A = this chain, B = another copy of it.
Amino acid sequence: MIIVIKKGSTDEVVNHVVEKIKSAGLAVHISKGKERTIIGAIGDEGLLASIPLQAMPGVEKVMPILKPYKLVSREFRSEDSVVEVDGLKIGDKQIQIIAGPCSVENQDSLTAAAVEVKAGGASILRGGAFKPRTSPYDFQGLGEEGLKYLREAKKATGLPIISELMDPRDLDLMCDYVDILQIGARNMQNFRLLKDVGRTKKPVLLKRGLSSTIKELLMSAEYIASQGNSQIILCERGIRTYETATRNTLDLSAIPILKEETHLPIFVDPSHAAGRWDLVAPLAKAAVAVGADGLMIEVHTDPENALCDGAQSLKPTKFSILMEELRRVALAIDRTI
């Protein structure tokens, strides 16, 4: 860590900061320039986390050198991690497609959707049993009943299933039914939930929060990994910006940056980012071209009558056409779908 001291500060001020750093167990290197005195703290920066260096008298700026995440970093593990689900390899050369309805509504429509997305080439089925909704008056999901429908749809198609976990009290239940636990954007910094999930052996898809930085996303993954579960898939799903023409701004630059910073597989959810089905196809192609390891796409057999997010759901025929297009883009960058 580098600590820049304000111009004109006394030796006493510098020494006070130095003592603080030493008392935390780090070594110190002082460099007195013409303009500024600079203190280098050498050792484990985590030990300085609770020391309010920034607020100490004479301190102008505190600049960390090391990264605050370890287990999920590319530095810790240089090869790409591959998460295995029912024999499916996530994070490998093959791009995996998660598809299905926003929320589980009933057995028939779910199984129909599952059959359709499988035919189109999806390898994982999605469907929400517990739904985070902005309004208390909107449909909140079927709960365990929805999980049962998902299990039946899996039986019918062989597709592994993913569903969102919203509450720690549902964790055991969810683990009984689903193959991948999804942590939604709103829970990305629900640290207790992350720890709980970290204690299971289930693969986890962790969505980036609506206004979370890439660094914060990695810190949340670190929470899960720190408890022993390294089966983590990251997912970019759009961030909040001033632009109102789309629901969120899909941050595709995050993909190559994450590829550099972490060994974890990275997915993109173009449906939630855009909020409009007609933007899903171009954004999905861009996500493949930019290097995503997988996509999460909402598909509904009857979007106009969907109980949730119908506006952003593709019909199965449109999904099949899109899959054809995606295969061509994947081939152009030497990957497969």
A residues adjacent to B (C-beta < 8 A): 2, 4, 7, 20, 29, 31, 33-36, 38, 40, 42-43, 46, 49-56, 61, 63, 65-66, 68, 75, 130, 132-140, 166-169, 186-187, 189-193, 195, 210-211, 213-216, 219, 222-223, 226-227, 239-246, 249-257, 260, 273-274, 276-279, 282-283, 285-291, 303-304, 306-313, 325, 328-329, 331-333
Contacts and interface: CB of A to CB of B under 8 A. Distances in A.
A250 B239 CA distance: 12
A274 to B, nearest CB: 6
A56 B195 CA distance: 39
Contacts of A49: 135, 137-138
A216 to B, nearest CB: 6
Nearest to A23: B305
Contact of A304 (B4, B52, B213, B255): B52
Contact of A134 (B216, B226, B276): B216
Given A134-B216, A289-B285, A169 B166 contact: no
A46 B193 CA distance: 31
A313 B50 CA distance: 13
Contact of A239 (B35, B241, B254): B241
A167 B166 contact: no
A211 to B, nearest CB: 3
B168 A168 contact: yes
Contacts of A227: 136
A242 B245 contact: no
8 contacts: A133-B191, A166-B190, A241-B251, A245-B254, A253-B283, A288-B289, A289-B329, A331-B332
A243 B252 contact: no
